Structure 1
Amino acid sequence: MHIAIIGAGVSGLLTALELIEHGCQVSIFDQQQAGQAASWAGGGILSPMYPWRYPQAVNTLAQNGKTLYQQWNQKLQPLTGIDFEIHDTGMLIFDESDFEIGLNYAKKHREPMQHASYLDGNPLQQVNSRINSKLEQAIYFPELSNIRNPRLLQSIMAYLKQHPLVRFFEHRPVVKLHIQQHQIGYVLDESGIKIEADQFVIATGAWSQHWSQQLDLDIPVHPVQGQMVLFKAPAQWLPTMCMNNVMYLIPRQDGHIVCGSSMAHCGFNTLPDSTTKQNIVDACLEMVPELAQFPIVKQWAGLRPSSPTGIPYIGQVPEIDNLWINAGHFRNGLCMGPASAQLLRQLMLKQPTDINPALYSPERLSKPVMV
Structure 2
Amino acid sequence: MSSSSEKIIIIGAGVVGLSTAVELLQHGYMVEIFDQQQAAKAASWAGGGILSPMYPWKYHSAINQLAKFGKQSYLALNEKLQPITGIDFEIEQGGMLIFDHDQFDLGLNYAQHFHEPEQQAYLVHRHEIQKINSQVNTEIDAAVYFPQLSNIRNPRLTQSLLTYVLQHPHARLHTHTPIQKISIAAARVNAIYDTSGNRYRADQYVIATGAWTAQLMAQFNVHLDIQPVHGQMVLYKTPPKWLPTMCMNNTMYLIPRRDGHIVCGSSTNHFGFHQELHEEISQNIIQSALSLVPELSKFPVVKQWAGLRPGSPTGVPKICKIPQCENAWCNAGHYRNGLVMAPASARLLREQMQGLATWVDASPYQWAG
Query: For residue 52 of structure 2, what is the aligned residue in structure 1?
Result: 47
Alpha-carbon distance, 1:352 to partner: 2.0
Per-residue CA distance 1:259-304 (angstroms, 9 max, x = gap): 0000110001111111000000000000000000000000000000
Query: For residue 265 of structure 1, what is the aligned residue in structure 2?
Result: 270
Q: Please identify runs of 4+ aligned residues in structure 1 that moved more than 4 A.
A: none
Query: For residue 59 of structure 1, what is the aligned residue in structure 2?
Result: 64
Residues paired across the two proteins, number: 364
List gaps (5 residues or longer) in structure 1: 367-371
Separation in structure 2 between the aligned mates of residue 349 and residue 18 of structure 1, nearest angstrom = 12
Give the partner amino acid of 1:332.
N
Alignment of 1:27-176 (within 5 A): 27-176=32-181
Give the partner amino acid of 2:100.
D
Q: Does 1:6 align with 2:11?
A: yes
Per-residue CA distance 1:206-238 (angstroms, 9 max, x = gap): 000102331111110010000000000000000
SS of the residue 1:103 aligns to: helix
Query: For residue 256 of structure 1, what is the aligned residue in structure 2?
Result: 261
Separation in structure 1 between the aligned mates of residue 334 and residue 180 of structure 2, nearest angstrom = 22
Separation in structure 1 between the aligned mates of residue 41 and residue 263 of structure 2, nearest angstrom = 17
Separation in structure 2 between the aligned mates of residue 60 and residue 212 of structure 1, nearest angstrom = 25
Alpha-carbon distance, 1:144 to partner: 0.2
Per-residue CA distance 1:131-175 (angstroms, 9 max, x = gap): 011111000000000000000011111111010110111111111
TM-score (normalizing by structure 1): 0.97
Whether the aligned pair in 1 keeps the contact of 2:126 and 2:138 (CA below 8 Å) is no
SS of the residue 2:182 aligns to: strand
Query: For residue 182 of structure 1, what is the aligned residue in structure 2?
Result: 187
Say which of 229, 237, 241 aligns to 1:236.
241
Say which of 189, 198, 204 aligns to 2:203.
198
Query: For residue 354 of structure 1, what is the aligned residue in structure 2?
Result: 359
Alpha-carbon distance, 1:124 to partner: 1.3
Alpha-carbon distance, 1:349 to partner: 1.3
TM-score (normalizing by structure 2): 0.98
Separation in structure 1 between the aligned mates of residue 80 and residue 218 of structure 2, nearest angstrom = 40
Alpha-carbon distance, 1:33 to partner: 0.7
List gaps (5 residues or longer) in structure 2: 1-5
Query: For residue 324 of structure 1, what is the aligned residue in structure 2?
Result: 329
Whether the aligned pair in 1 keeps the contact of 2:182 and 2:193 (CA below 8 Å) is yes
Query: For residue 290 of structure 2, what is the aligned residue in structure 1?
Result: 285
Query: For residue 347 of structure 2, what is the aligned residue in structure 1?
Result: 342
Whether the aligned pair in 1 keeps the contact of 2:126 and 2:140 (CA below 8 Å) is no
State, as a whole percentage, how many aligned pairs show the same letter: 55
Query: For residue 275 of structure 1, what is the aligned residue in structure 2?
Result: 280
